[in-house]
Amino acid sequence: MQANPRVVAALEQFKGLFFEQPEVRLSIAEAHEFSGLDEDICDQLLGALVDVRFLTQSKDGAYQRRAPFPADDGRDDGPRGFSNMAGGNRTHGNGIHTYASR
């Protein structure tokens, strides 16, 4: 099964946004506007980032970067498990399949 290039690109966009601006908070509607993907897909992608402990979801539903932020050591792989999600085929508990493109 081939990964949808738009979904893979959106995952990378979300990852980049939260790395570049760790204080940013995104609602599902904002994620939809940012990525151009359906809100359900955005919710699943951001939920997968919560599953790997890169993001948290607040009580108001906004997604934000999990603190404390790791030191910037030049790596772009985030917390433990994140590089596996973005860098290899993986099925998440919520049914999202991500595929490597590195």
Give me the DSSP letters along 11-68.
HHHHHHHHHH-TT-EE-HHHHHHHH-S-HHHHHHHHHHHHHTTSEEE-TTS-EEEPSS
Note down pLDDT in tens along the chain; length 102 residues: 567 888 889 999 999 999 999 899 999 999 999 999 999 999 999 999 999 999 999 999 999 999 865 554 444 444 444 444 444 444 444 444 443 333
CATH number at residue 57: 1.10.10.10
Whether the CB-CB separation of 35 and 44 falls below 8 Å is answered with no
Query: What pLDDT was estimated at residue 14?
Result: 94
Model pLDDT, residue 4: 86
The domain tally of the chain equals 1
The range of the structural domain enclosing residue 53 comes to: 5-98
Angle at 94 between CA 57 and CA 56, to 5 degrees: 15
Instruction: Say what the pLDDT of residue 71 is.
Output: 56
Element (DSSP H or E) covering residue 85: helix 82-87
pLDDT number for residue 70: 55
